Structure 1
Amino acid sequence: MAFPVKNYSSVSAAAPVLTGVAQSLQQLIRACLVTGYGSKAVQSLTVSAGIATAVYATAHAYEVGKVLRVTGAGASTVNGERLVLSVTASAVTFAVPGTPDGVVSGSISTDIAPAGWTEVYTTGSVSVFKSSAVEATGLFLRVDDAGALNARIRLYETMSDASTGTGPTPLDSQVSGGLYWPKSGAANATARPWVLIADDRGFYFAADPLSTGRYTLVFGGDFASVKSGDAWAAMVAGNQSDQTNLTTTPDGCCGFSNRDARSGAYIARAHSATGGSVAANRMGAAHNGTASAVYSGGSGYSGAAYPNQPNNGLLLTKPELWSLGLRGTLPGLYHIRNSVGQDVGVGITIDGTDDLAGRKLLLLRVAPPTGAVAPGVVALDLTGPWAR
Structure 2
Amino acid sequence: MSNKVKWMHQGFAGAPVLTNNWGSLTALLDACLVTGFNLKTVTALTRTGDVATATIGSGHGFLVDQVVLVEGCDQPSYNGEFTVTAITSTTVSFRIEGEPASPATTQTGVTMKIAPLGFEIAFTGTNKRAYRSPNPLSNRHYLRVDDSLPTGYTPTWAKFARVTIAEGMADIDTFVGARAPFTPGAPTRNEVPTGSGATMYTGWFKWYYARHSYAETSGDNGNWGRSWVLIGDDRGFFLFNSSGYSGDWRVLHAFTDFDSYKPGDNFASYLIASERYQQANYTGGSYPWQDAYSAYAQDTTGKICMRDYTGIGGNCRLGMLSLNDGNNQNISGRSGAIPFPNGPDYGLILHPIYLRETSGGHLRGTLPGMFWVHQNQPYGHLTKIDNVIGYEDRKFLYVTVSSYSSEANSCGFCFDITGPWRP
Q: Identify whether the pair has TM-score above 0.5, normalized to the shorter chain.
A: yes
Q: Is the 8 A contact 1:215 1:369 kept in 2?
A: no
- Cα distance change of structure 1 residues 374 and 203 upon mapping to structure 2, 3 Å threshold: closer
Cα deviation for residue 277 of structure 1 reads 1.6
Q: 1:308 aligns with which of 327, 339, 342?
A: 342
Task: Describe how 1:41-120 pairs up with structure 2 within 5 A.
Answer: 41-100=41-100, 102-106=102-106, 107-120=109-122
Q: Deviations over 1:336-378 (max 9, x none)?
A: 112x23x423311101534422211111111148624782121
The alignment partner of 1:275 has SS state of coil
Measure the CA separation in 2 of the matches of 1:128 and 1:64. Answer: 32
Query: How far apart, CA to CA, are the structure 2 residues paired with 1:204 and 1:9?
Result: 12
Query: In 2, distance between residues paired with 1:192 and 1:373?
Result: 14
Local SS of the residue matching 1:168: strand
Give the Cα–Cα distance (whole angstroms) in 2 for the partners of residues 212 and 357 of structure 1.
36
Aligned partner of 1:138 in structure 2 is 140
Q: Secondary structure of 1:331's partner?
A: strand
Which digits, 9 at most, give the CA deviation of each residue in 1:283-311, with x for residues without a partner? 2x21352433x4212236xx112211111
Q: What is the number of residues matched between the two proteins? A: 380
Which residue of the partner structure matches residue 194 of structure 2?
none
Q: Deviations over 1:137-186 (max 9, x none)?
A: 12110011125522111101110000110322111459634411121235
With 207-216 and 12-21 compared, the bigger mean Cα shift is at 207-216
Which residue in the other structure is 2:155 paired with? none
Higher mean alpha-carbon deviation, 6-15 vs 245-254, is at 245-254
Alpha-carbon contact 1:238-1:253 (below 8 Å) kept: no
Match of 1:12, SS state, is: coil
Equivalent residue in structure 1 for 2:171, among 157, 161, 177: 161
TM-score (norm 1): 0.90
In structure 2, stretches of 5+ residues that fail to align are 150-157, 191-202, 213-219
Q: Does residue 1:350 correspond to 2:385, yes or no?
A: yes
Residue 133 of structure 1 and its aligned partner are, at CA, apart by 0.9
Partner Cα separation in structure 2 for residue 352 and residue 28 of structure 1: 32
Deviations 1:3-39 (A, max 9, x none): 5211111111211111121111101111111111111
Aligned twin of 1:376:
411
1:299 counterpart = 2:301: no
Query: Within 5 Å, which residues of 2 pair with 1:1-388?
Result: 2=2, 4-100=4-100, 102-106=102-106, 107-147=109-149, 149-166=159-176, 167-172=178-183, 176=190, 177-186=203-212, 187=220, 188-210=222-244, 212-241=247-276, 246-249=286-289, 251-258=291-298, 261-283=299-321, 285-292=322-329, 294-299=330-335, 303-323=337-357, 324=360, 325-338=362-375, 340-341=376-377, 343-368=378-403, 371-372=406-407, 375-387=410-422
Deviates more, 1:190-199 or 1:346-355: 346-355
Q: 1:372 to 1:43 in 2, by over 3 A?
A: closer
Cα pair 2:77 2:100 within 8 Å, conserved: no
Counterpart contact for 2:251–2:288, Cα < 8 Å: no
Change (3 A) 1:23 1:248: closer
Question: In structure 2, what is the Cα distance between the partners aligned to 1:215 and 1:26?
Answer: 18
Specify whether residues 385 and 56 from structure 1 end up closer, same or farther in structure 2 by C-alpha distance, changes over 3 A only.
closer
| Partners of 1:61 and 1:246 in 2: CA distance | 38
Task: Check conservation: 2:78, 2:100, Cα contact below 8 A.
Answer: no
Quote the Cα distance in structure 2 between the aligned partners of 1:373 and 1:98.
48
**Alignment CA distance shift 1:97-1:280 (3 Å):** closer
Q: Distance in 2 between matches of 1:105 and 1:139?
A: 40
> Conserved in 1, the CA contact under 8 Å of 2:292 and 2:403?
no
**Larger mean Cα displacement after TM superposition, 86-95 or 306-315:** 86-95
The Cα shift of 1:316 comes to 0.8
Q: Tell me the CA shift for residue 63 of structure 1.
A: 1.4
Identity of matched residues, %: 31
In the alignment, residue 316 of structure 2 is paired with which amino acid? V
Q: Aligned AA for 1:49?
A: G
What runs of 5+ residues in structure 1 fail to find an aligned partner?
none
Normalization by structure 2: what TM-score? 0.83
Code of the aligned partner of 2:96: V
Residue-by-residue CA offset, 1:76-122 (whole Å, 9 max, x unaligned): 21111111122223321122332356322211111111111110000
| Cα pair distance change 1:276/1:49, threshold 3 Å | same
* Paired amino acid for 2:44: S
Distance 1:209 1:137 in 2: 31
Given that residues 208 and 369 in structure 1 are in contact (C-alpha distance below 8 angstroms), is that contact kept between their aligned partners in structure 2?
Answer: no
| Secondary structure of the structure 1 residue equivalent to 2:275 | coil
How far has the Cα of 1:49 moved from its partner? 2.5
Q: Which has the larger displacement, 161-170 or 239-248?
A: 239-248
